[in-house]
Chain A
């Protein structure tokens, strides 16, 4: 890790994850919620890479690659859902989705 204490790295990733969680919980615009989800996924990936650098094993980076793939697939599906949502409701307010329950 070139002299960086692992606690500080993990702390940074925890802070970023909490910020993403706060974003998911407080924002009502659905695009902001998707962006906050990206922040949370990214923070998880950061924790994996930091652990990988601490023990000098490449396994953590492979988990990071998997998270990257997951984020890409999630964004593609999520954004096309948002486009459909906008076509029906002409709005990005997430609370309108409560009408979806059967």
Chain B
């Protein structure tokens, strides 16, 4: 049963990724990319890494994809985006991703059902990862925080308007 779930999720991941890199419309590609990330999160749960699965949904499919959506919306302001909004209301654009998402949801519900009866036994819990993360890997955590700070400063510097900076320094 676990094998069947794994192969279905893997098939959905590959299919969604192929559809991502072959779309011409960037918003459709983004929808399929989110489906691909969600299916990988289900795979993480199946192989017994629930923390990684949760982080995949929260950080990858949530935060990073929202950044992409923001930028796509920023770059597409105007008449062209209005036509796009109309096109999105037709069902053709979201039928595929929602079908794949539905299959993933069915898989996840089956997994929860099985998990109660004790099929998913070998799990690496969040506690183990946390103990290791703040023990031997403390330096890596510090390095990651420095990397995030550098990313924040870099994004702020690159993203601000140039006119503002000229007014600031006459």
25 residue pairs from A and B, CB less than 8 Å apart: A2-B46, A4-B47, A9-B43, A16-B36, A19-B18, A32-B21, A39-B33, A42-B40, A49-B47, A53-B48, A53-B124, A58-B128, A58-B129, A61-B124, A62-B132, A64-B52, A66-B144, A69-B147, A71-B60, A73-B147, A73-B150, A77-B158, A79-B71, A81-B158, A83-B71
The number of residues on chain B lying at the interface, defined by a beta carbon within 8 Å of a beta carbon of chain A, is: 60
| Residues of B with C-beta under 8 A to A93 | none
Give the complex CA separation of A12 and B71 in angstroms: 30
Task: Report the minimal beta-carbon distance from B69 to chain A, rounded to whole angstroms.
Answer: 11
User: In the complex the two chains form, what is the Cα distance from A74 to B14 in whole Å?
Assistant: 24
* Interface: B59 (CB within 8 A): yes
Report if A70 contacts B (CB, 8 A): yes
Residues B21 and A19 in contact, CB atoms below 8 Å apart: yes
Contact residue among A12, A35, A72, A75 (Cβ-Cβ distance under 8 Å from B29): A35
A2 with B144: CB separation less than 8 A = no
Residues of B close to A34: CB separation below 8 A: 68
When C-beta atoms are compared, the residue in chain A nearest to B30 turns out to be A35
Residue numbers in A under 8 Å from B72 (CB-CB)? 31
Residues of B within 8 Å of A2, CB to CB, are: 2, 46-48, 119-122
Contacts known (A26-B21, A61-B124, A66-B144); A31 close to B71, Cβ less than 8 A = yes
